[in-house]
Amino acid sequence: MNSDGLFSGTGSGEEFTTFSSSIATLSVDGFSASVGTNGQTSVYSWVEFSSHSARVFPATGWTVTQWRDQIPNGGCNYQVKSYTSPNYTASHTVDGYSTCGNYFLNLGIKQIPPPSNLSVSGLPACAAGNYSATLSWTNSANNWSVDVDNDGNWSNGYLAFKSIASGTSTSIPAGFNNGLLLFPGGTYYWRIYYGMPGQWVYYTSGAGDSTTGPGDPFSVPGCLDLKARFVKPLPSEPYSAGDSANATVRVSNIGDQASAATTLGLWVAPGDPAAASCPSSPATPPVGKSWSVAALSPGAAVDIPISFNVGSSKGSFTANAYVIPACNQSDSFWGNNSTSGAGQVGEGEDSDASVGGFTFTVNVNAWFETTEGDVGSQGNVNISQRAPDAPAKYNSEYLVAGSSLGSNVKSENNWKISGYSGHRLVPGGSVYNYLADRFRSKASGSEICNIPAGLPPGNNFYQCTGDAQFHVGNGPNGNNVFFIDGNLVVDGNLTLASSDSSIFIVKGNITINSDVTRIDGIYVAGGQFSDATDTSDESGAQLVINGSVFADSVRLNRYLGGSRCPSGDACDNALTAADVINFQTKYLVALNSMIGSPSISWNEVAP
């Protein structure tokens, strides 16, 4: 076969391949025609101003490059014509009458240079996202295709293919059908093929013509991928302050590289500093919230029991674990290192594990202590935390009385009255109404709502027709009676000198903010007395009240803890009272002349 694909000729230095039917077959006017070893056929036909057609069917690996037909002379018309045709069909029209219908066809059929030196390049060591590579070969493609499969014997067909019009390389997986992706640790096989359906020729670097296999293999580098998940079921019961919570975290190596020994850290929000967020933000686990994780081979997993103190703050909290918090290993996907982090697309989850944090509730129980006075209620007296027995502490040194008393209520001398409904503990209506009815008019005309420290000495009455506040500093001088028609908020320590006294008679509520640790005086509320800012801010240090409290209802929800509490026993709710009320008799003496009731003595005399 010479350079133009012909099987015979006179070109100098050219070699001519012997033609055979394994290279191509020929039909003329729809009839099969035999072809000689020189690639020429002689066809006899009676022709007269007619058109004739010929079609070549090349075998796989061959392509038609040139046609040449000839009507010979010797009593017949003579002509030679050459044709090229992309669809392997050529036609010839006889120009004149001829009784000699023999004509010859010379076929030019050239073999396609097969691909060789198949190779793969450009695979990264461990990609952060999808992998890609370059497939290369020698000899330019001519409408070839590339198959890719994960089975070198192509037992199930192929995963994907891509058509290659020309060139000596192509990228993978770009352009392949079926959404091909290359996964870490996977082994894939590829081959090049061309031809026609039923006559495909397949090429790999190991086999020049491989219809079924083996394919040419390449492996995607494996990656490390550790994930952390809480094992179900998680505890659901609420905890008390200082309790230990126990759970199990499963650390799995779902990658294709072994991990080194590392750490599992736990962060509880709110409260703990920011957790690790690799690769950019490593973090050291909080004290007492770190566990060792041994090296794991690909596919291995370990369940790690964890136990941690839930703390002394009241509320709902969420714990999240994070594996490799130091960010010092080449994990390919950091999202699932957190128990609350999502996995990669297509990543499965164990049926007994959950994506998300461990949410738990902490209830903080506290207690109050009174000295030199009694505790009385027309309703129930309930205390969530029993006062300690060693050293012995009590809710009252003397009497505790109420319609019912909880089991945690303690009296130093065990003076407790439950079911009390006899003599009233307060005047009819309420303490506020009793005092307001008798003494409110004395305060008219002296308006003070922002209660200052610098008031004149002596006995004074003041009023506030709206809400009143005391912010910070020493309490007012002298002996003072404040009638407040709205609410009173104390957001700073209110300290009275030993010679001073104050009584706050409030129609509405009295609120002592959570950062206040001392208030002196007598506090009377027609509404509620509260020792904390609100239900979302109840933690603090101990509140000491030097005086007494009267109210329609008393809400002592303060508990020891949080940033306001120093440390140690002073913040231990089991040992230290959240509220201490020290009754002081000086108020009876100092305020008697201002709001005391006159005494009447009856003496029977002779008529």
User: 130 and 34 in one domain?
Assistant: no
Identify the domain boundary among 188, 219, 250. 219
Q: Report if residue 386 sits inside a domain.
A: no
Vertex 372 angle, CA 367 and 378, to 5°: 60
If we measure between CA atoms, which residue out of 51, 50, 58 comes closest to residue 86?
A: 58
Residues 339, 474, single domain; the answer is: no
Confidence of residue 1 (pLDDT cuts 50, 70, 90): very low
Task: Give percent of the chain above pLDDT 70.
Answer: 81
**Same domain for 348 and 431?**
no
pLDDT at 159 over 60: yes
Say how far apart CA 259 and CA 249 lie, in whole Å: 17
Beta bridge partners of 333: none
Residue 402, pLDDT > 60, answer: yes
Same domain assignment for residues 90 and 123: no
| Whether 99 and 212 share a structural domain | no
Q: Which residue has the tokens 């610098």?
A: 454
- Closest among 222, 357, 373, 218 to 299, alpha carbons compared: 222
Tell me the two tokens of residue 94.
């006889």
pLDDT of 501 over the 50 cut: yes
Q: What are 145-155's pLDDT values in tens digits?
A: 999 998 888 88
Contacts of 395 (CB under 8 A, 6+ apart): 367, 368, 369, 370, 375, 383, 387, 409, 410, 411
Say how many C-beta atoms besides its own lie within 10 A of residue 270's C-beta.
9
Strand intervals (E) in 326-383: 353-354, 358-363, 368-371, 375-376, 380-381
Point out the domain boundary residue: 363, 386, 408.
363
Q: What is the CATH number of the domain that holds 180?
A: 2.60.40
Percent of the chain with pLDDT over 90: 44
Query: Whole-angstrom Cα distance, residue 542 to residue 580?
Result: 8
The identity of residue 391, as a single letter, is: P
Decide if pLDDT at 280 tops 50: yes
Token pair recorded at residue 582: 């020290």
Q: Report the amino acid identity of residue 268.
A: V
Phi-psi region of 557 (alpha: psi -120 to 50; beta: other; left: phi over 0): alpha
DSSP state of 296: -
| pLDDT confidence of residue 211 | 61
pLDDT score of 31: 79
Give tens-digit pLDDT for 51-75.
Answer: 667 778 877 667 777 666 665 545 5
Specify the DSSP class assigned to residue 150: S
User: In which element (H, E) is residue 52 found?
Assistant: strand 51-58
Whether 16 is in a domain gets the answer no
Is the separation of the CB atoms in 259 and 295 below 8 Å?
A: yes
Residues 479 and 529 in one domain: yes
CA angle 597, 600, 601 (to 5 degrees): 150
Does 303 fall in a domain? yes
Identify the top-confidence range among 86-90, 211-215, 335-339, 431-435: 335-339
Per-residue pLDDT of 168-194, as tens digits, reads 999 999 999 999 998 877 889 999 987
Count how many Cα atoms sit within 13 Å of the Cα of residue 376 in the half-sphere of its side chain.
Answer: 15
Q: Decide: 98 and 78 in contact? Cβ < 8 Å.
A: no
Question: Do 74 and 126 belong together in one domain?
Answer: no
Do 440 and 571 lie in one domain? The reply is yes
Q: Is the pTM of this model over 0.85?
A: no
Same domain, 198 and 243: no
The answer, yes or no, to whether residue 208 has pLDDT greater than 50, is yes
Output the CA torsion sign for 134, 139, 143, 149.
negative
Q: Which CA distances in Å does 408 have to 374, 388, 395, 421?
A: 17, 10, 9, 21
Report the alpha-carbon distance of residue 91 to residue 30 in Å, rounded: 12
Q: Per-residue pLDDT for 539 more than 50?
A: yes
Q: Measure the CA–CA gap between 329 and 339, rounded to whole angstroms.
A: 18
| Reported confidence tier of residue 306, pLDDT bands at 50, 70, 90 | very high
- Most confident among 81-95, 250-264, 342-356, 447-461 (mean pLDDT): 250-264
Is the separation of the CB atoms in 214 and 206 below 8 Å? yes
* Final residue belonging to a domain, choices 312, 345, 363: 363
Domain count along the chain: 4
**Do residues 31 and 112 lie in contact, with contact meaning Cβ atoms separated by under 8 Å?**
no
With beta carbons less than 8 A apart as the criterion, state whether 417 and 400 touch: yes
Per-residue pLDDT at 170: 96
- The tokens describing 79, both together, are 């002509």
pLDDT of residue 326: 98
pLDDT in tens, 475-489: 888 899 999 999 999
- Provide the domain limits for residue 182: 116-219
Q: Are residues 580 and 434 in the same domain?
A: yes
Beta strands in 444-535 (DSSP E): 459-464, 468-470, 473-474, 479-484, 488-490, 494-495, 501-506, 510-512, 518-530
Helix (H) or strand (E) holding 161: strand 160-164
Beta bridge partners of 231: 353
Mean pLDDT of 200-220: 74
- Structure tokens belonging to residue 577: 């009272």
CA gap 317, 362 in Å, rounded: 8
Amino acid at 217: P
Residues 241 and 346 sit within 8 Å (Cβ to Cβ): no
86 and 156 part of one domain: no
| Mean pLDDT, the chain, integer | 84
* Same domain membership, residue 439 and residue 582: yes
pLDDT of residue 88: 65
